[in-house]
Structure 1
Amino acid sequence: MTDQLARWSQATRYIDMWVDPDDDPRNNEGPSPDGELATLQEALTNYRLTLRMKCEGLNPEQLARRSVPPSTMSLLGLVRHLARVERDWRNWISDGDPLPKLYGGREADFDGAVAEQSVVDAAYDDLEREQAATDAALAQHPDLGERLGRDGIAVRELLVHRLDEYARHCGHADLLRECIDGRVGQ
């Protein structure tokens, strides 16, 4: 007997894929989006779906499982972290008082990612709410060159930063999921 997990994929056509192309909600048959804004938004939607897919089918203990010491990273921590940064991004584009921190101090998003169903449910609720609020705030500014907030950040820069954040953490999610049950795929 070995502690080594067997690597596996749900895909049957391409073993390096997470699911078969016909079952992949990120696949878009047809023309690509028109324009820079639509392209950025579609890429963000796909990364958001990827994160959810990497977490599907896991119980609270698996979602809260830390990668390797001393890291506090877990899939649940990533969900909470991305909810927190969605809120923080709204502070970048606002001239008003900053919104309160979602989970408290530094690293609280990861430290508070404990194996309880109520924490998992709250994390997903927080993520959906914060994503929708940031999307709504940015929808008021369709000009990608418009500069917002006290620091004058361009809408384009914020959208690219969001893509970068989700892409980086989807890579982490790949490795975390493989450590949990051996499932692989892009």
Structure 2
Amino acid sequence: MVLLMVKPDPAKKLPVLGEEGHRTGKFALLTQDSVVYNSDSLAGSIRVVEFFFTTCKGICPKMNGNMKKLYLQFRSAPQVKFVSFTVDPLHDTPSVLKKYALQQGADGYQWIFLTGQKDSLYRIAREQYLLSAAPADDVVNTEEFIHTQYFALVDAQNQIRGFYDGTSEKEMIRLMADIKILLA
């Protein structure tokens, strides 16, 4: 994927998604470094958000491969953050996320991996980022869960500006161009 050459359309205006006035809200979770990380840490940043789990054999490896490519492209833009919330906090403890983050080459500052209580993580996905994450068959105590392959792009004012299929190279090119629009 050659993302560096992507040029944003200067005339393109990104939509604001969600109901009128919708903004992402407050949270406090643990990072891969076992540090409490709250939504205030993202204040003023543009961010790409995903929900995944480390033992996933399906879409997650492709999603995180694409997230890594985006992360590497925006290493010189510290105001762009990449936030990966687990949907499997029983397994994805901070130490497990730390090992996974190291495998991805994530720095813990610009690309953050977060865990917490399952119900809080699912609520954050649905209510704040308008993404799907839920226990399979909607049974809270199950070990199985579902999540979307979509990334959410959030601007510095905590407004959702787009959704992108995290498994699609074409969508990653569109996402990169849209990040550049927000940076401009």
- State whether TM-score is above 0.5: no
Structure with higher Rg: it is 1
Normalized per residue, which structure has more strand? 2
Q: Give TM-score, length-normalised by structure 2.
A: 0.30
Normalized per residue, which structure has more helix? 1
